[in-house]
Structure 1
């Protein structure tokens, strides 16, 4: 039922927030609360930008393709934001300890999280649109960028 789903989603979000808070407690030397906030907030901007750009500029992209693009965008933004930590956990870092990895390994800037995620997500949605081309061009043509720019605006008065 809907109540069971809501309880499950609430539990999942609570556990995720607790894991993030515990990670922040374990690694206080790398960043402060503002740095973590920027890294975490930018995780959502990439997928939102992907949906906006793909919906406005790519007429072939339907629901399945945009879900694939959004998922790829979320994975890209997560890896870009937390690449040092992920690389160390997967054993891809040359540093023997987590503290050394945080100190010596450098990841991309927080300002690159959103652009990397949007470009990766839009490209993934574009490629997926050839596999799942279910958007009807006739119904959506008036909402695309070219149609919006060519509309005649009515001026009052």
Structure 2
């Protein structure tokens, strides 16, 4: 944290130097990746377990006064040692903070990414196989976000197809 230039603190979700002494880490979110080919082959019986690939990465919430302001990305190397690979993700942190009231599980959700759709989600792969919380939900929206796996994946299909064709 001491390597962050003072004039860049806001880019990391921290609004003042004084807040640095109150920073703590929250419980890690295990990162899973959505397999784009599985999304394109979607059928009515598809579950989260069918489309996810585990990674060797975790995102730790960076907390100030119990609010998520940034994320610390940690990766396990080939020797099994954890290494910090990046810090920041303030927009993702805000999305996760906004989602907290809607999550009604007593366990930490998994953080799920579709690199081809450039979107993050929260889910419970083994406990709720058809639940996927869309973190791109507009915080000002008056309705609850769509959490139905099938409808979200159908929305992602054309985006993923287009980005795969573009080489992404």
Normalising by structure 2, report the TM-score. 0.28
- Give the structure, 1 or 2, with the largest relative contact order (CA under 8 Å, sep 6 or more): 1
Q: Which has the higher helix share?
A: 1
Please tell me whether Structure 1 or Structure 2 has the larger radius of gyration of its CA atoms: 1
Higher share of residues assigned strand: 2
